[in-house]
Structure 1
Amino acid sequence: MSNIHIGISKENRLKIAEGLKHLLADSYTLYLQTHNFHWNVAGPQFRVLHLMFEEHYTELALAVDDIAERIRTLDVAAPGTFKEFERLSTIKEVEGVPSASKMVDLLTKGHEQVVKTSRQVLKLAQEANDESTVALVSDRMRIHEKTSWMLREMTR
């Protein structure tokens, strides 16, 4: 680590970055899952889900970059391999191609998990007065809460 002076101790930067690594891994795993489902969705809701999943994975692609760059701003290396993401993520890969309704259910749970991971990082960032990470994570929570709500509404 460099000797940087941004008002956050090295110890707190390491703790926050470790939390952000988990958020990055969850977000990237959710991105891959969403993209996979976009390619493979079938059934009566094909068009709606195909387009919705595209919106979601496009948003997630930008998010993972923001999260990784925040980790780097804290002067910590960002994970970037499937092996690291698998180890860090609480969202597990899906085998095969589930039904469209199962895809919606899995993605709903995935977005809810990202919210829970975000809450853990948010607490660390708040305790360290790291407003930049607080803002980033708060924005991610809001987006994932709204997305999970929209996905839940698909099953009513």
Structure 2
Amino acid sequence: MGNSQKASVPAIDIGISEKDRAKVAEALSKVLADTYTLYLMTHNFHWNVTGPMFNTLHNMFMEQYTELWNSLDVIAERIRALGHFAPGTYREYAKLSSISEPKDVPEALEMVRLLTKGNESVAKTARAAFGAADGANDQPTADLLTQRLDVHEKAAWMLRSLLQ
């Protein structure tokens, strides 16, 4: 190759149109934003929970935020595999997320309520993204979203059970 010649980068050709890849990546970006927001809230509550259920909630929140943290890379890397950049700033997450963060440190049972709602919000966002993935015949994204739905619906159930 000559001095200034670079090998051209081939276009993405995975059987999903650019328009559909963009639509799926946009939907996944919302899932990523919701997941990161829920991760941060869960970690915050892990640090700051108090009261008679401290040990139970402290450990449960750690298990949940660890799972959320590990899922962030999977979601972001799927966005990249579709040929788009993953959002990665608080500003972008605040704009994309459907989850409202609390202004103060709530008491323990309010933390549980907020995390229940947060997991349900991620599930709704993932379910909406599943429609985009399914419509684009994007099985890897649909599989990822099915797994995320299972995690968030189970977490919401377990948290809700503490309130009964």
- CA shift in 2, pair 1:29/1:2, >3 Å: farther
Q: Secondary structure at the match of 1:54?
A: helix
1:15-56 per-residue CA deviation (whole Å, 9 max, x = no partner) reads 000000000000000000000000000000000000000000
Instruction: For 1:1-150, list aligned pairs within 5 A.
Output: 3-150=11-158
State the TM-score, normalizing by the size of structure 1.
Answer: 0.98
Supply the RMSD in Å over aligned alpha carbons.
1.0
1:62-116 per-residue CA deviation (whole Å, 9 max, x = no partner) reads 1111100000000100000000000000001111100000000000000000010
Measure the CA separation in 1 of the matches of 2:102 and 2:67.
Answer: 21
Residue in 2 that maps onto 1:151: 159
The runs of 5 or more residues in structure 1 that have no matched partner are none
Task: Give me the identity figure in percent.
Answer: 54
Measure the CA separation in 2 of the matches of 1:16 and 1:33.
Answer: 26
Q: Secondary structure at the match of 2:13?
A: coil
- CA shift in 2, pair 1:2/1:46, >3 Å: farther
State the TM-score, normalizing by the size of structure 2.
Answer: 0.93
Which residue identity does 2:19 align to in structure 1?
E
Q: Which runs of 4+ in 1 moved over 6 A?
A: none
Which residue identity does 1:144 align to in structure 2?
H
Instruction: Report the alpha carbon displacement of residue 2 of structure 1 after superposing the two structures with TM.
Output: 6.5
The runs of 5 or more residues in structure 2 that have no matched partner are 1-8
Measure the CA separation in 1 of the matches of 2:98 and 2:119.
Answer: 11
Q: Which has the larger radius of gyration?
A: 2
Measure the CA separation in 1 of the matches of 2:97 and 2:132.
Answer: 18
* Kept in 2: contact 1:2–1:75 (CA 8 A): no
